């Protein structure tokens, strides 16, 4: 019976995995210890979407990321403030951009998609290694051109 018990333990140990170090092994991760996640910051972006003549455009969606967006008001103004956001451009040398899309169709005129580069300035320092701080660009101007006929007929 004892032999059967040992074989069952061996079989279950092989299937489930066991260790033979008696708990004395301590992994050497080196320095610094590994951490999981990505650094984030607070981003505040505001400005105006205009046509070529400088008139504000209503009903334009301005998007920083998939979840950070706003729709312009009657004067074409927008404001996006997002805490805990990860943007690769905050941690590196990439350029951050905002995208603008006409979402109201022909109601206020049809306009082609556009974008603008951001000049984010750090206004508050981060706290710790995962908080990059607060970054702002509050004078963004996006100029949109009228949509061509083929673009305005999209479903």
Give the mean pLDDT of 103-110: 86
In the predicted model, what is the mean pLDDT of residues 39-59?
94
Cα–Cα distance, 118 to 89 (Å, whole number): 10
Q: Which of 99, 96, 101 is nearest to 137 (CA)?
A: 96
More reliable by pLDDT, 3 or 77: 77
Please check whether residue 129 is in contact with residue 34, taking contact to mean a CB–CB distance below 8 angstroms.
no
pLDDT at position 24 is 53
Q: Is 50 exceeded by the pLDDT of residue 152?
A: no
What pLDDT was estimated at residue 71? 95
Global confidence as pTM: 0.70
pLDDT recorded at residue 22:
53
pLDDT tens track for 24-39: 545 554 555 556 778 8
What are the boundaries of each domain within the chain?
43-149
d(CA 85, CA 64): 10
pLDDT for the residue 43:
94
Beta bridge partners of 56: 50
CATH classification code of 43-149: 2.60.40.1120
pLDDT at 57: 95
């Amino acid at each position: 019976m004892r032999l059967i018990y040992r074989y069952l333990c061996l079989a279950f140990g092989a299937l489930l995995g066991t260790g033979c170090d008696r708990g004395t092994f301590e992994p050497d991760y080196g320095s610094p210890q590994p951490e999981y996640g990505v650094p984030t910051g607070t981003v505040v972006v505001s400005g105006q979407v205009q046509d070529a003549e400088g008139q504000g455009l209503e009903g334009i969606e301005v998007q920083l990321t998939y979840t950070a967006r706003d729709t312009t008001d009657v004067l074409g103004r927008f404001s996006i403030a997002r805490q805990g956001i990860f943007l690769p451009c905050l941690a590196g040398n990439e350029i951050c951009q905002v995208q603008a899309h006409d979402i109201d169709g022909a109601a206020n005129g049809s306009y082609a998609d556009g974008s603008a580069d951001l000049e984010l300035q750090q206004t508050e320092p981060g706290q710790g290694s995962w908080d990059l701080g607060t970054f702002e660009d509050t004078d963004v101007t996006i100029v949109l051109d009228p949509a061509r006929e083929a673009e305005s007929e999209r479903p």
